Structure 1
């Protein structure tokens, strides 16, 4: 396709993905209250456990409504992940050979659970992050957080970890595209662990070693799982190429 056709195709995929997020977000209106109750629970526990004032406040007239919209947006992204991941693959698939397209289905089936699993992992770690960060308050000072800022922090944290869990699929994609070999991935394991540690440190903006470790362990496991898939694919391709060489070599000798 020409550049213009690629841009039209990209616009189509983005539109479909956006509509899926909006529809899933609208459906998420019904679960906004329990989600907000769970997200705000760590702040409410501060008043009980640390014996000081703690609350989430609304500083503008429309902030309560904006809070609901942001939660709906979060629900929409997570719930519609199979759709927008498919649109991503549908944009990439035309560049693949016919026998390679079937692997895109596997990537899609793995991508959505990985993204949702990453969001779930971040969900369980999030209370530890809030407790740790607010624990640096001085003396008898109060912890009064605006709903917009607090929720913005929560959404970025949860989505960042979700995306982090999908990144190993990118390595597998590069391997299937013959850009990256399993051997090079394994040789770079030290750099990979360093990158994962840096990512978890940035995603958990505090010196919370426990949360960093809890997030880093599954990411490291996914990295080596991607290496295993890449090694299997490299071995399969090597066998196929060897068979083709033997076949054409015998045919040439017969001629």
Structure 2
């Protein structure tokens, strides 16, 4: 029950930060408040940034493309959805901190000091994944628009297109967090470095599988843009976990049984 109450408290705190981020996201979505932050190029807001890849590619190909809201209230509904999505990105340092704080009771006092390092690594990686996803969108749009006939036009439903872009960006960001979560689980004594090293083939397979599922096109270049950084991050995570296990075994006289399988008997 204590764990459930702690989980509830952390979830509530993360939700509060998400709400505050969504309020700011409401103004960022359509570029409202431009006079406040004085960035003229941001007059279109996040909505304009998400439109830019497909509209730029359409202009280059001289193809008519239009983002269409099919119903009267669709623009308002999606503005709310977009604000929440922006809120998830903006509040990432805070809900990542709540995630880390939930597992810190399993750590020693010295290991809890690494919380700052966890946030310092997780937030840039999450944002870097989102930035790489946005850089991939022009290639995806070039691939998809390329099937439009010369005399044809694309009247794209805004809900479908914007949801497509938002899912890709969020998936890339979360994908870059997986190695950091792996290190966090190791510091919480839930998985050993030796176990992670033994399962390196599964890590490679899952990295390519995840990249193939979330990338919007079928070309291998786009998939590699996500898979290769993930493999590098997983490699770094493995090294950190192994070094942490060695440090822990030197400092603690108790044997480590984390590498044993569930069916293997210990020496107790």
Find the counterpart in structure 2 of residue 17 from structure 1: 14
Find the counterpart in structure 1 of residue 169 from structure 2: 158
State the 4+ residue runs in structure 1 displaced beyond 6 angstroms.
Answer: none
TM-score, normalised with respect to structure 2: 0.82
Alignment of 1:8-87 (within 5 A): 8-32=5-29, 33-87=44-98
Report the CA distance shift for 1:196/1:100 in structure 2 as closer, same or farther (over 3 A).
Answer: same
Could you give the per-residue CA deviations for residues 58-84 of structure 1, whole angstroms, max 9, x where no partner exists? 101111122322222222111111111
**Per-residue deviation, 1:35:** 1.7
Contact 2:126 2:173 (8 Å CA) reproduced: yes
In 2, the alpha carbon distance for the partners of 1:142 and 1:129 equals 17
Contact 1:176 1:233 (8 Å CA) reproduced: yes
Structure 1 position 89 matched with structure 2 position 86? no
Could you give the per-residue CA deviations for residues 135-182 of structure 1, whole angstroms, max 9, x where no partner exists? 233553321111111111111111111010010012112322334333
**Per-residue deviation, 1:131:** 2.2
Q: 1:194 aligns with which of 201, 205, 220?
A: 205
Contact 1:46 1:54 (8 Å CA) reproduced: no
Of the structure 1 ranges 205-214 and 27-36, higher mean CA displacement relative to structure 2 is found in 27-36
Of the structure 1 ranges 215-224 and 28-37, higher mean CA displacement relative to structure 2 is found in 28-37
Find the counterpart in structure 2 of residue 212 from structure 1: 223
Structure 1 position 228 matched with structure 2 position 257? no
Aligned residue pairs, count: 241
Report the CA distance shift for 1:182/1:12 in structure 2 as closer, same or farther (over 3 A).
Answer: closer
TM-score, normalised with respect to structure 1: 0.86
Where structure 2 has 5 or more consecutive residues not aligned to the other structure, the ranges are 30-43, 256-268
Aligned residue for 1:216, secondary structure, equals helix
Larger CA Rg, structure 1 vs 2: 1
**Per-residue deviation, 1:200:** 0.7
Find the counterpart in structure 1 of residue 121 from structure 2: 110
Report the CA distance shift for 1:46/1:169 in structure 2 as closer, same or farther (over 3 A).
Answer: closer
Contact 1:82 1:108 (8 Å CA) reproduced: yes
Contact 2:57 2:141 (8 Å CA) reproduced: no
Where structure 1 has 5 or more consecutive residues not aligned to the other structure, the ranges are 246-255
Contact 1:43 1:55 (8 Å CA) reproduced: no
Give the structure with the larger helix fraction: 1
